[in-house]
Amino acid sequence: MAGTVVKIKQSAVAGRLPTHGTGNATDIVQGELALNTADQKLYSKDSSNTIFEIGGGGASGAVSILTTEFVATASQTSFAVTYSVSNDHINVYFNGVWLPPTDFTATSGTAVVLDTGAPVGTEIVIQKIQALNLANGSDIDEHEFTATAGQTSFTVTGGYSAASDVEVYVNGVKLRAADFTSTSGTVVVLGSAAVVNDEVTIRIIKIAILTSTVSQTSETGAAIIPAGTTAQRDSSPVAGYLRWNSTLSRAEVYSGSAWADVGQQTLTTEQVQDAIGPMLSGNTETGIDVTYDDTNNQIDFAIDSTVATLTGTQTLSAKTLTSPIINTGVSGSAILDSDTMSGASATTLASSESIKAYVDAQILAVPDAVAMSIALG
């Protein structure tokens, strides 16, 4: 007995999306699958009639692709759909034909507005690609050209990498991968020459290959980082690991050698010394010279000659001594040691020995009669 072959709805037309409510063979209902074999993409539909891509397909750097369908009223231009202006990428299909971004506006976050009103009954499909907005991650760039007669080569500003997914549209119709070449990194070459004034759009889908992502509470909320106790830290962390330590109630990052609080830097001994050294070296505070010896890792303090010390010999100039106690002999040019008071002046002090000798000599020099008179009073 031959095996049973199960086929799902499919299309071999590049860029074709499954629609509903129009009688097309590709219509799907909630939970049904549809395959685009040209694009190698699988689609389904959720309970809100939103068509979404399963697995990411060619735009594997995107988080998800959501598709919403409309049947236009007469001259309808505005179609309600929510999206992130900063992170999401919007594609619009007009009766299956892709519209370049210059033909619509998607800046409000709540609606997509066509430049020209759609006729009644027009099938409008709006595709929202929720892409990771990373510096080196997923992104979608579109480059538009107006072809000259017979033009085949189109230079992409900024180029593209081998990891990028390149899509080419001519007058809104997506070309198969076999119909163009994108191998140089800067130029896309059509297999068949374009006609003059053909609108050629080249989409560069930059793909990020991520093993995991950081969750967030909302676009304007906060990032949700791993949390756990001190004992639950990674056994083999590498520099840059970030987590919330529930034991210490603080965020911490691994420096490459140890876990440190976020905002707290662990300095080496040399770093501390080099930070303090310039604050001390060459500084003078009221007669104290301070220098830092980086070779010996020492701080040197030296008192200069303007400060009196308790030991050693110093010359004091213009100093006032209040109630000094002098326990040993005094000497110097200001001390007069002369029994005759020779050299006496207003700026010298006589020693007690000199004073006694001088007085005794003066008494001996007085005549006897005068001395007797003095003695008798």
Following CA atoms 8, 14, 20, 24 in sequence, which dihedral angle do they give, to the nearest 10 degrees?
-80
Give me 373's structure tokens.
């008179």
Backbone angles phi, psi at 179, to 5 degrees: -95, 5
Tens-place pLDDT, residues 138-180:
567 889 999 999 999 999 998 888 767 888 999 988 888 889 9
- End-to-end Cα distance, the chain: 167
Tens-place pLDDT, residues 280-305:
666 656 677 777 777 777 777 777 76
- Which pLDDT score, from 0 to 100, does residue 173 have? 87
- Which pLDDT score, from 0 to 100, does residue 24 have? 42
Tens-place pLDDT, residues 24-69:
444 677 777 787 777 677 777 777 667 777 754 433 444 467 788 8
Please report, for residues 214, 274, 286, 324, the alpha-carbon distance to residue 321 in angstroms, rounded to integers and kept in the order given.
76, 43, 20, 6
- Which pLDDT score, from 0 to 100, does residue 64 have? 63
What average pLDDT does the chain have?
Answer: 79
- Which pLDDT score, from 0 to 100, does residue 78 have? 96
- Which pLDDT score, from 0 to 100, does residue 309 have? 72
Q: Confidence class of residue 213 from pLDDT cuts 50, 70 and 90?
A: low
Looking at the chain, the whole-number percentage of residues with pLDDT higher than 70 is 78
Give me 168's structure tokens.
């080419």
- Which pLDDT score, from 0 to 100, does residue 8 have? 75
Locus of tokens 């906060």: 222
Q: Could you give the CA distance from residue 344 to residue 330 in angstroms, rounded to a whole number?
A: 17
Q: Could you give the CA distance from residue 18 to residue 10 in angstroms, rounded to a whole number?
A: 8
Question: What is the mean predicted confidence (pLDDT) over 310-319?
Answer: 74
Kindly state the helix (H) or strand (E) to which residue 275 belongs, with its residue range: helix 269-280
Is residue 64 within 8 A of residue 138, CB to CB? The reply is no
Q: Is the pLDDT of residue 132 over 60?
A: no
Question: What is the mean predicted confidence (pLDDT) over 307-330?
Answer: 76
pTM, full prediction: 0.40
- Which pLDDT score, from 0 to 100, does residue 115 have? 95
Q: Could you give the CA distance from residue 305 to residue 318 in angstroms, rounded to a whole number?
A: 14
Q: Is the pLDDT of residue 352 over 70?
A: yes
Give me the numbers of helices (H) and strands (E) for the chain, helices first please.
3, 29
Q: Which amino acid is at 73?
A: T
Q: Could you give the CA distance from residue 233 to residue 223 in angstroms, rounded to a whole number?
A: 19
Is residue 194 within 8 A of residue 188, CB to CB? The reply is no
Ranges 2-6, 271-275, 370-374: which has the least confidence: 2-6
Is residue 289 within 8 A of residue 301, CB to CB? The reply is yes
